[in-house]
Amino acid sequence: MKALLLVDIQNGFCPGGNLPVPHGDQVVPVANKLIDSGKYDLIVASQDWHPPGHGSFASSHPGKKPFEMGELSGKPQMMWPDHCVKNTLDAELHPALKSEEIDLIQQKGENPLVDSYSAFRDNDRDASTGLSDFLEDQGVTELDVCGLATDYCVKFSALDALEMMPGIKVRFIEDASRGITPEGVAAAIDEMHARGIEIIDSQKALTG
Ligand code: VGL
Ligand code: ZN
């Protein structure tokens, strides 16, 4: 069983959103091609889904500005702009994404006291979302991962997939992903590659 994981392709991470990833919307047509390809038995998407006043928001920490480091529950935490507040337009999947074809939407980031970059578990590696159990129950042995943002949620999701589902083959689809900073993207790709994730482009995913 082969699955596609579309990470956080939400308005909030696209131009015009509250935490825009440069050219984030450019992943949408590529993701749609992958969705329509017939190559995947299962398509899942993650959705960053924060309560108002989430502890990862700079606005929840007096004196802190977005993109500074701060602390959350005693641990270092990047201070983000308010983003992807649940039940707002910012948190909705991009309207052009073919979401009718998505089999499961995994929400994450609801606990105000811990951030959750990965679709599989929170940043403390404590609470599992249940996505790894779901994929294992479905018999998934190959997982292609792409979306937003390469240097945060995509990277942590891909690494957790590898770690939490022993034996699974994980590939990262580079041109179906965008990151927050170029240095962050380069480091994320190096780290994924070093851990055994194959770095591919969508052409390979569609044909190979
Ligand atoms: C993300 C920062 C904060 C992401 C989510 O989807 O990469 N980044 N929340
Ligand atoms: Zn978030």
Assess if residue 139 is contained within a domain.
yes
Query: pLDDT digits over 176-197, tens only?
Result: 999 999 999 999 999 999 999 9
> Whose CA is closest to atom 9 on ligand 1?
117
Assess if residue 58 is contained within a domain.
no
Domain limits at 37?
A: 2-49+87-207
Q: Is the CB of 9 under 6 A from ligand 1?
A: no
ipTM exceeding 0.95? yes
Assess if residue 10 is contained within a domain.
yes
Q: What does pLDDT average to over the chain?
A: 98
Number of domains in the chain: 1
200 forms beta bridges with: 173
Query: pLDDT digits over 107-146, tens only?
Result: 999 999 999 999 999 999 999 999 999 999 999 999 999 9
* Whether the model pTM is above 0.90: yes
Q: Is the pLDDT of residue 208 over 80?
A: no
Assess if residue 19 is contained within a domain.
yes
Map residue 12 onto helix, strand or coil.
Answer: helix
For the domain that residue 127 is a member of, what is the CATH number? 3.40.50.850
